[in-house]
Amino acid sequence: MSVLISEVGPRDGLQNVKAVMPTEAKKAWIAAEAATGMREIEVGSFVPAKLLPQLADTAEIVAFARTLPGLTVAVLVPNARGAADAIAAGAHKLTLPLSVSETHSLKNLRRTHDQVIEEAARIAAMIRELPEGDRPHFEGSLSTVFGCTLEGTVPDAQIARLAERLMEAGCDEVGLSDTTGYADPSAVRHLVKLVRGVVGDKALTGIHLHNTRGLGLANVLAALECGLDTIDASLGGLGGCPFAPGASGNIVTEDLAFMLEAMGIDTGIDLDSLFKVRSIVADALPGEPLYGFVTDAGLPLGFTPATQREAA
């Protein structure tokens, strides 16, 4: 069994850090992490530079990341204009967030649900015009899907309908995003079943979870048991969502990779090399806290990663 960890630190992490990481440091981070065996990295977001100066160099970062062999270069796009920039830069994967809470959607993206679906349709049309080999993968991400800090729980029927509308608009896939850190293992099971019931198993494979309330890896376990195989995480737990108060705290990539490898699930990642990438991030963001448990405690005595066990 294998699972794809999608590193979101250079996007979700850095957009929540006040300091602007120098472009060369980002490149060093992404190159070093790709070299550990990380196969997908969300390297930035095509938002106006005045809104997120931390990510103003995303086009340059995408161009650089494309030179790294075997790496899927993912980006966030808030709208069709961002998607056009992402396509021009050559990103392999575009993620458009749609907040299932319309209140949160208006605050976060300044758009109603109808407007976001409209953007999704425009992006899908743009992608269809490209030669087949050049088309990026296009995911619609259902954010605040486990509940919203402004609205609370969002009704199942609304979530199901939005998932359906994203697919009808032309997304290749939808994803679940616990923007607010409200998820628990039962809710993960419930929502995977609900959304897969609408879009089919193949159109929901990934989840973005936070560790805001300490349940991040338990929620991952529930997601794996449901058959999801793409899990977002952030090196050192950098980042969160600035628009959902108190909702910071991505899952820590190092702890997630350790859990999976300990369970005999191949991530393709060399853990010791991964742990060393922390110093690149720490040096480039002085004073910014990095989180994680396994890097403090160290690997267990006699620990054998999944791939070495398979080979044995």
Residues annotated as catalytic are 241
Candidates 147, 175, 206, 236; binder of a copy of itself (CB under 8 A) is 147
User: Which one, 9 or 140, has the nearer CB to a copy of itself?
Assistant: 9
Is position 236 an interface residue for a copy of itself (rule: CB under 8 A)? no
d(CA 227, CA 297): 30
Is position 158 an interface residue for a copy of itself (rule: CB under 8 A)? no
Is position 289 an interface residue for a copy of itself (rule: CB under 8 A)? no
Candidates 75, 86, 241, 259; binder of a copy of itself (CB under 8 A) is 259
Shortest Å, Cβ 222 to a copy of itself: 7
Beta pairing class for 72-76 and 173-177: unpaired
Q: Which stretch binds a copy of itself (CB under 8 A): 30-38, 57-65, 161-169, 177-185?
A: 177-185
Residues β-bridged to residue 42: 74
Is position 152 an interface residue for a copy of itself (rule: CB under 8 A)? yes
d(CA 111, CA 255): 35
Shortest Å, Cβ 215 to a copy of itself: 5
User: Which one, 64 or 258, has the nearer CB to a copy of itself?
Assistant: 258
User: Which one, 67 or 153, has the nearer CB to a copy of itself?
Assistant: 153
Is position 287 an interface residue for a copy of itself (rule: CB under 8 A)? no
Is position 198 an interface residue for a copy of itself (rule: CB under 8 A)? no
Shortest Å, Cβ 150 to a copy of itself: 8
Is position 106 an interface residue for a copy of itself (rule: CB under 8 A)? no
Is position 136 an interface residue for a copy of itself (rule: CB under 8 A)? no
Candidates 6, 54, 212, 234; binder of a copy of itself (CB under 8 A) is 212
d(CA 248, CA 20): 18
Residue-wise DSSP of the chain: -B-EEEE-IIIIIGGG-SSPPPHHHHHHHHHHHHHTT--EEEEEE-S-TTT-GGGTTHHHHHHHHTTSTT-EEEEE-SSHHHHHHHHHHT-SEEEEEEESSHHHHHHHTS--HHHHHHHHHHHHHHHHTS-GGGPPEEEEEEETTT-BTTTBSPPHHHHHHHHHHHHHHT-SEEEEE-TTS---HHHHHHHHHHHHHHH-GGGEEEEE-B-TTS-HHHHHHHHHHTT--EEEEBGGG----TTSTT---BPBHHHHHHHHHHTT-B-S--HHHHHHHHHHHHHHSTT-----SHHHH-PPTT---HHHHHH-
User: Which one, 113 or 210, has the nearer CB to a copy of itself?
Assistant: 210
Candidates 107, 135, 213, 278; binder of a copy of itself (CB under 8 A) is 213
Is position 30 an interface residue for a copy of itself (rule: CB under 8 A)? no
Is position 221 an interface residue for a copy of itself (rule: CB under 8 A)? yes
Residues interacting with a copy of itself, by CB under 8 A? 147-153, 180-182, 184-187, 211-215, 217-218, 220-222, 246-247, 249, 252, 255, 258-259, 262-264, 292-294, 296-298, 300-302
